[in-house]
Amino acid sequence: MKHRILRTALTGVVLASTGVIAAATNASADGLGATKLTTVNFVYDFPGPDMELIPIVVGQDQGFYTKAGISVKTLFPASTSSTSAMLATGAGDVGFITTSDMADAVQAKVPLLSIANYSMTNNWTIFAKPGSKLTAADLKGKKIFSWGDTWTNTMMSFVLKHAGLSANQVTIVTASNDTPLLMNGKIDFDTSTTNYAVPAIQGADKGATPVMFTGSQIGVPNIPIWVYAVTKAYAAAHPATAKAFLSATLAATKWAIANPAAAVNDFVKMYPTSGYTKAYSTTGWSLTIPLLKNSSGKFFTQTSAQWSTLDQGLIATKQIKTAPAPTTYYTNAFVPAQ
Amino acid sequence: MTTRRLLKAVLGPIVSLIAVVAIWQAIVVWGHVPSYIAPRPLAAWQAITQNWSTLWPLTSWTIKETVYGFFAGVVFGIAFGVVMAKVPFLAKTVYPVLIMSQAIPIVALALPLVLILGFSLMPKVVIVAWIVFFPVTVNVLDGLHNVDKDLLTLSQVLGASKWRTFVVIEIPGAITPLFSGLKIGATYAVTGAIIAELAASSGSSLALYQHAQAGQLNAAGVYGTTILMTAIGMGWFLLTLGAEYLCTPWRRRSVARRKWRGARTISAVSL
């Protein structure tokens, strides 16, 4: 009996203490959460993380987003062509897509709006194996790798038109990985952007630099590749959040440029199982940095000229019939002052 | 089969197909689903008919991959099944490896196959065969293990050779399970072909066409391609079903047709 009373009393004390601790924890949590963060679902353009995500990672890890009153949650699409659809269905708020994805979205009457450029120049390139004697004039009859995404399809149309070739005069090869195919001679040319392909080829061939053909050599316009996009409805309903997102992302981008090693460390810390080596991400990020500013040193700012150049190219290569007004694609209204 | 019985057999699937299309239409219309998310059934159908000149060569290529891969898988599957049934030691040794082969993600297999075999039809055929052979092997093995023991004893008593026993008793005994494996393989074969096309393709393919349509937010094109892929799988399954119908007459009648009885009698006597 004595034991039972003691046990009941002990249980009461334990329960009471638990209640007090829980109440105290809630109170302190309420205190900390005084400034409620607005969640922004950011949809990347690839099913997994890679070094182009560094500005977002730095924004999260270095507290730039928290300071701006937002909490950014990164989502990865099921495929490289799902980001626009995720935005359109409301699964994401801000997306990372190519300018050609934007053109396709506008053609399909999907109400997307580009709110900032990520990169300012076109580093899409045709690569040949290190030491290869092939030139840009040797495309006819060759096997050319493509990821099958809209940007590569668009750029290949420019390349073929410039080379005076039809689609059936080359063999377009699509596979899950390009570098092993190039290094093993299964393809003659690879297509990718310098910041992705160069570190991959260097990693596969003891630092050797591939043979590269780019820009006017292959007839591709120098226009931005990647943009941050939202739906028109999101832009109208959450202008302050869109502004806060870009403002914090700009601060994070500048920080990542000034501290490239620390920025890569942040990426490796947040995504230790991304599948990319630190050396790959370091080289990739160093090759991404020069793409982020325009010739006036400005980040993010879009121009009507970039969109009309893309449209003209798409019309010339018969990918679209009519060009919408450039302002259909973009707004600089949310870009922070620089 | 009488016309009435044929109608009865076909009516059910047709009604369920109409129901699926009706539900699809209702969801899109009443749910106000935008056309870039999900098209109406008619739009998906039009995406096929209006682009048929582009789609047909791609579809026929996918059919070729499916059929070649299926037959390669069936040949290997039956061979493995028979050898494993006849050599128990081999069965114990090889069976775990066969199970392991199915645990390998097909996508991971694609790149090494491309590096070895290039971008031709061959890697796709290998991938489809890889998927198809396993259910065939397992079912043939089970079928051969479960042949009526009394029949085997009887053939032994009558002095039948091992080959004769195999041809007259064991093969017919394994046919029903074999067709179960073939039907599973027939449904998975087209999936294997599409995975193979996505993993590595030279030129265009049905899977890449669909990928491009998805990139352009052309939902009608995506759904239309899906319908074509489904049709290939269903068509191949129905052909397998037809082959099963022809190869297993004893499932419909207990007595052989009069014209075949003589041959059967001779076979039985020559046991």
User: Confidence class of residue B88 from pLDDT cuts 50, 70 and 90?
Assistant: confident
Edge-first strand listing for the sheet containing A226-231: A70-75, A38-43, A94-98, A226-231, A112-117
Token digits for A279?
């050396």
Token digits for A21?
């601790």
From chain B, pick out residues whose CB is under 8 angstroms from the CB of A153.
Answer: 212, 215
Instruction: Return the closest-CA partner of residue A211 out of A124, A130, A146, A283.
Output: A130
Interface of chain B toward chain A, CB-CB under 8 angstroms: 34-37, 107, 110-111, 114-115, 118-119, 198-204, 208, 211-212, 214-218
Which residues are B56's β-sheet partners? none
Q: Is the Cα torsion angle A93, A95, A99, A102 positive or negative in sign?
A: negative
CA distances from A198 to A143, A152, A212 (A): 19, 17, 9
Examine domains A38-120+224-282+315-328 and A124-217 and report if their fold is the same: yes
Against a cut of 0.80, is the pTM above it? no
d(CA A119, CA A43): 17
According to DSSP, the β-strands at A94-98 and A211-214 are: unpaired
Give φ, ψ of A81 to 5 degrees.
-110, 15
Give the closest of A89, A150, A175 to B216, CB-based.
Answer: A150
Amino acid sitting at position B88: P
d(CA B206, CA B211): 9
Q: Do B115 and A181 touch (CB under 8 A)?
A: yes
Does residue A10 register a pLDDT over 50? no
Instruction: Return the closest-CA partner of residue A54 out of A330, A291, A301, A332.
Output: A291
pLDDT, chain B, mean = 88
d(CA B67, CA B247): 19
Task: Identify the CATH assignment for A124-217 out of 3.40.50.2300, 3.40.190.10, 3.40.640.10, 3.40.50.300.
Answer: 3.40.190.10
Query: Does A323 contact B at CB distance below 8 Å?
Result: no
Q: Do A88 and B217 touch (CB under 8 A)?
A: yes
- pLDDT 10s digits, B2-12: 778 778 878 88
Give the closest of B37, B198, B200 to A89, CB-based.
Answer: B37
Does residue B244 register a pLDDT over 70? yes
User: Confidence class of residue B28 from pLDDT cuts 50, 70 and 90?
Assistant: very high
Q: Over range A144-165, report the average pLDDT.
A: 89
Give φ, ψ of A139 to 5 degrees.
-70, -30
d(CA A232, CA A236): 6
Query: Is ipTM beyond 0.85?
Result: no
DSSP run (H or E) holding A173: strand A171-175
Query: Does A39 contact B at CB distance below 8 Å?
Result: no
Does residue A16 register a pLDDT over 70? no
From chain A, pick out residues whose CB is under 8 angstroms from the CB of B114.
Answer: 175, 181, 186
- pLDDT 10s digits, A186-202: 899 999 999 999 999 98
From A221-230, B48-57, B63-72, B193-202, the region with the lowest mean pLDDT: B193-202
d(CA A206, CA A211): 15
Edge-first strand listing for the sheet containing A171-175: A143-146, A171-175, B200-202
Which residues are A278's β-sheet partners? none
Does residue A45 register a pLDDT over 80? yes
> What residue ranges do the domains of chain A occupy?
38-120+224-282+315-328, 124-217
- pLDDT 10s digits, A90-128: 999 999 999 999 999 998 889 999 999 999 999 999 999
Q: Which domain holds residue B157?
A: 51-250
Q: What proportion of chain B, given as a percentage, has pLDDT over 70?
A: 93
User: Confidence class of residue A174 from pLDDT cuts 50, 70 and 90?
Assistant: confident
Secondary structure of residue B6 in the 3-state scheme: helix
Asked whether residue B92 is domain-assigned, the answer is yes
From chain B, pick out residues whose CB is under 8 angstroms from the CB of A108.
Answer: 36, 216-218
d(CA A215, CA A260): 27
d(CA A154, CA A175): 18
DSSP run (H or E) holding B200: strand B200-202
- pLDDT 10s digits, B226-242: 999 999 999 999 999 99
Angle at the Cα of B145 from the Cα atoms of B144 and B147, rounded to 5 degrees: 65
Q: Do B36 and A184 touch (CB under 8 A)?
A: no
A328 to chain B, closest Cα gap in Å: 17
DSSP A306: H
At residue B255, the pLDDT reads 67
A112: number of Cβ within 10 Å: 27
Asked whether residue B60 is domain-assigned, the answer is yes
Angle at the Cα of A193 from the Cα atoms of A190 and A194, rounded to 5 degrees: 95
Angle at the Cα of A69 from the Cα atoms of A65 and A70, rounded to 5 degrees: 55
CATH number at residue B127: 1.10.3720.10
Count: domains in chain B: 1
Fold of A38-120+224-282+315-328: D-Maltodextrin-Binding Protein; domain 2 (3.40.190)
Torsion of CA B190, B191, B192, B198, to 10 degrees: 110
Instruction: Return the closest-CA partner of residue A146 out of B66, B175, B211.
Output: B211
Asked whether residue B173 is domain-assigned, the answer is yes
At residue A124, the pLDDT reads 95
